[in-house]
Amino acid sequence: MGTLYEDIVAYGGEVFGEEHMETLKACVQCGKCTGGCPSGRNTALRTRKLMQMALLDLREEIFNAPELWFCTTCFTCYERCPKGVKTTDIIRTIRNLAAKEGHMSVPHRMIGVYVLKTGHAVPIGPDQMKLREKVGLASQPPTTQHPDNKDQLEQVRTIFKSTNYDVMIDFDWDTMNLRGMEKKEGKK
């Protein structure tokens, strides 16, 4: 583990390329990102402040800030930054690092559970199958959630296992749920 900046460049770099992530150093703290941020109107999110915290290596502070999760990745700041700082991708990468260190809410972890169970973040239910039929569609599309496509769903699970996503959210393959969540099953 290096500084937060180094980790951002290394982890995000493997997806976006390192040069993309290194734009963080170009931030001059002008605040234009914050000025146009729709989240900042309603929440404590201050994009400029996040960039500064990342540069100052305030790892614990940034990982524990609830507003880190109030960015909708709208890319407004990304397009407007006069220094070409790839803000939104930097924020996504900081979230990745935070999640790896256990800073991930239960509802956010549950999205992974749905994908591991069905291949879909928003799976279908009996009511929606009826709605599909009402507009003349097959009750289920031939995606990973279709009972005929278990082998396809297995491929998605293989990807999640290969990147240890299941471990990150503490997924229990026996109960097909988050560990310790069995009792809440059926409430959703």
CB of 161 to another protein, least distance (A): 9
Task: Please give the full DSSP string across 53-68, using - where no structure is assigned.
Answer: HHHTT-HHHHHT-GGG
Question: 26-55 mask for ligand SF4 (x: CB under 6 A)?
Answer: -xxxxxxx--xxxx-------xx--x----
Q: What angle do CA 48, 53, 58 make, to 5 degrees?
A: 170
Q: Which does 33 bind (CB under 5 to 8 A by kind): another protein, ligand SF4, none?
A: ligand SF4
Say if residues 41 and 64 touch (Cβ distance below 8 Å).
no
Residue 120 found at the interface with ligand SF4 (CB under 6 A): no
Q: How far is CA 8 from CA 26, 48, 112, in A?
A: 14, 16, 23
Residue 124 found at the interface with another protein (CB under 8 A): yes
Element counts in the chain: helices (H) and strands (E): 12, 2
Binds ligand SF4 (CB under 6 A): choice among 21, 54, 68, 71: 71
Residue ranges that bind ligand SF4, judged by CB under 6 A: 27-33, 36-39, 47-48, 51, 71-77, 81, 83, 85, 87-88
